[in-house]
Amino acid sequence: MQFNRKDLLGLEDLSSESIKLILDTADNFKEVLSRKIKKVPALRGVTIANVFYEPSTRTRMSFELAEKRLSADVINFSKATSSVKKGETLRDTLENIQAMKVDIVVMRHGSSGAHKFLSEFLEASIVNAGDGQHAHPTQALLDMMTLRERWGTFTSKRVTIIGDILHSRVARSNIWGLTKMGAKVTVCGPPTMMPAAVEKLGVGGVKVEYDLRRAIREADAINILRIQLERQDATLFPSMREYFEVFGISNDVLKSAPEHCIVMHPGPMNRGVEIAQEVADGKQAVILPQVTNGVAVRMAVLFLIAGGKVEENDLQ
Give least dist CB 163 to ligand CP, A: 13
Give 110 or 267: the residue with its C-beta nearer to ligand CP.
Answer: 267
Whole-number Å distance between alpha carbons of 285 and 274: 14
Residues 67, 115 contacting (CB under 8 angstroms): no
**Does 288 participate in binding ligand CP (rule CB under 6 A)?**
no
Interface residue with ligand CP among 110, 182, 267, 272 (CB under 6 A) is 267
Interface residue with ligand CP among 2, 31, 35, 57 (CB under 6 A) is 57
* The residue type at 159: V
Residues 135, 11 contacting (CB under 8 angstroms): yes
Whole-number Å distance between alpha carbons of 172 and 187: 10
**Does 59 participate in binding ligand CP (rule CB under 6 A)?**
yes
Residue 269 CA, distance from chain mean position: 15
Give least dist CB 303 to ligand CP, A: 20
**Does 268 participate in binding ligand CP (rule CB under 6 A)?**
yes
**Does 266 participate in binding ligand CP (rule CB under 6 A)?**
yes
Give 63 or 303: the residue with its C-beta nearer to ligand CP.
Answer: 63
Q: Give the interface segment with ligand CP, choosing from 32-40, 50-58, 97-105, 183-191 (CB under 6 A).
A: 50-58
Element (H, E) at 130: strand 125-131
Interface residue with ligand CP among 16, 28, 56, 232 (CB under 6 A) is 56
**223: which strand partners?**
161, 264
Q: Give the interface segment with ligand CP, choosing from 52-60, 65-73, 96-104, 253-261 (CB under 6 A).
A: 52-60
**Does 192 participate in binding ligand CP (rule CB under 6 A)?**
no
Near ligand CP in 163-182, by CB under 6 A: none
Whole-number Å distance between alpha carbons of 69 and 43: 9
Near ligand CP in 230-259, by CB under 6 A: none
**Does 138 participate in binding ligand CP (rule CB under 6 A)?**
no
Residues 24, 17 contacting (CB under 8 angstroms): no
Give 16 or 56: the residue with its C-beta nearer to ligand CP.
Answer: 56
Whole-number Å distance between alpha carbons of 203 and 11: 11
**Does 58 participate in binding ligand CP (rule CB under 6 A)?**
yes
Give least dist CB 135 to ligand CP, A: 12
Q: Which segments within 154-278 are labelled E, that is strand?
A: 158-162, 184-188, 207-209, 221-224, 262-264
Residue 290 CA, distance from chain mean position: 10
* The residue type at 103: D
Residue 149, classified by CB atoms within 10 Å of its CB into exposed (0-12), middle (13-18) or buried (19+), is: middle
Give least dist CB 106 to ligand CP, A: 11
**Does 139 participate in binding ligand CP (rule CB under 6 A)?**
yes
Binding site for ligand CP (CB under 6 A): 56-60, 130, 139, 266-268
